[in-house]
Amino acid sequence: MRNPHSNGNLRKLEADGGGEATEENGFVNGVILGLDGGATSTVCVCVPFFSFGERFPDPLPILGRAVAGCTNRNSVGETAARDSLEQVISEALVQSGFDKSDVRGVCLGVSGVNHPSDQEKIENWIRDMFPSHVKVYVQNDAIVALASGTMGKLHGCVLIAGTGCIAYGFDEDGKEARASGGGPILGDWGSGYGIAAQALTAVIRAHDGRGPQTMLTSTILKALGLSSPDELIGWTYADPSWARIAALVPQVVSCAEAGDEISDKILVDAAEDLALSVKAVVQRLGLCGKDGTASFPVVMVGGVLKANQKWDIGKEVSKRINIYFPGAQTIIPKVEPAVGAALLAMNFLSS
């Protein structure tokens, strides 16, 4: 299939394992698919293959990009997860103009992959979609997020704080450690869901007389089109999905910026909880060195950490991390996690 980005001068190369790959414009030896499967959606990018260690073009060419539904089978079930996976891969390849025989490798980072059996099941789904020469890698979404900030290298720590949250890291020997990631019931209060759930709780407590009055009451009711805190109970349990609750984080931030003490405390506690998650991973892996001052990357990803408000949660987390570890180098990735997954696939294929 002809690539629409092509100059029309293509030649065929044999890919590893007997498949065919296409070289285009002197830099493509087949293509890589990188996927990021978060709590609400899945992104797939198609990029040219480069041997890991080569100097990558900046920016890395994106030949195709598609978005589909959630691929976390724990959240939406196996049928819906697999359907979304097939859809997003097909759409990215159609955009790129390449077909499945041109693919060298596929790397999917997906939430909910916490055990080898999880990886194996999803790897088998993907293998069923491709010729046998295509290499398939499935990782926790935190790992591809780390790769998005380190250009495919697995060293350092990543902090994800979006709808959910997790800290994950690797030392130079490949040892892994994680903290958080178990969901708000198990203490992930720095996540978007955790922040918003605490805000909803504060509104109900204030309404009952069990807690102080807060600006959150009027702000959240207005945002949801409700007239009384009593209506929050029905609203919450009508659809208690994480993403729906987490969407209230901007209201918490706006109240904190306006001087609401309850909102401010929720965000301060969230920033501290996220920093403690990083601290736990760094100490378990010894990334900071024996004297605590060694340099290492901390990749920060997720909507909660984006610097788009006066009350900047990401900046507060960074301050706390640097108090614990002066050598920590916080990184905001220049590429999205799906591109990190593609870079990781190149790393694995080249090793």
pLDDT digits (tens, 9 = 90+) for 38-69: 767 899 999 999 887 777 787 889 999 999 99
- Give the predicted TM-score (pTM) of the model: 0.83
pLDDT of residue 13 exceeding 70: no
pLDDT of residue 96 exceeding 50: yes
Query: What digits encode the pLDDT tens for the residues 305-328?
Result: 986 678 999 999 999 999 999 999
- Domains of the chain in sequence order: 11-154+335-350 (3.30.420.40)
∠ CA(186), CA(196), CA(238), 5° rounding? 90
- 23-31 CB contacts, 8 Å cutoff, 24+ apart: 24/48, 27/57, 29/104, 30/102, 30/103, 30/104, 31/63, 31/96, 31/98, 31/102, 31/103, 31/104
Query: What digits encode the pLDDT tens for the residues 106-119?
Result: 999 987 777 788 88
Q: In this predicted structure, what is the pLDDT of residue 307?
A: 66
Q: In this predicted structure, what is the pLDDT of residue 308?
A: 64
Q: Which amino acid is at 50?
A: F
Return mean pLDDT, the chain: 89
Bridge partners (DSSP) listed for residue 48:
31
Distance CA(183)–CA(328), nearest Å, equals 26
Alpha-carbon distance values, 3 to 7, 90, 95, 217, 270 (Å): 9, 15, 9, 54, 46
Q: In this predicted structure, what is the pLDDT of residue 28?
A: 52
Enter the tokens of residue 43.
């992104």
Q: In this predicted structure, what is the pLDDT of residue 326?
A: 97
- Of 328, 348, 313, the closest CA to residue 191 belongs to 313
| CA 161 from centre of chain | 8
| CA 28 from centre of chain | 27
- Of 170, 152, 146, the closest CA to residue 302 belongs to 146
- Of 270, 256, 252, 286, the closest CA to residue 320 belongs to 270
**Which has the higher per-residue pLDDT, 268 or 243?**
268
Alpha-carbon distance values, 306 to 33, 91, 178, 311 (Å): 26, 29, 22, 11
- Of 122, 174, 173, the closest CA to residue 143 belongs to 174
Distance CA(92)–CA(49), nearest Å, equals 15
Q: In this predicted structure, what is the pLDDT of residue 115?
A: 78
Query: What digits encode the pLDDT tens for the residues 74-84?
Result: 778 889 889 99
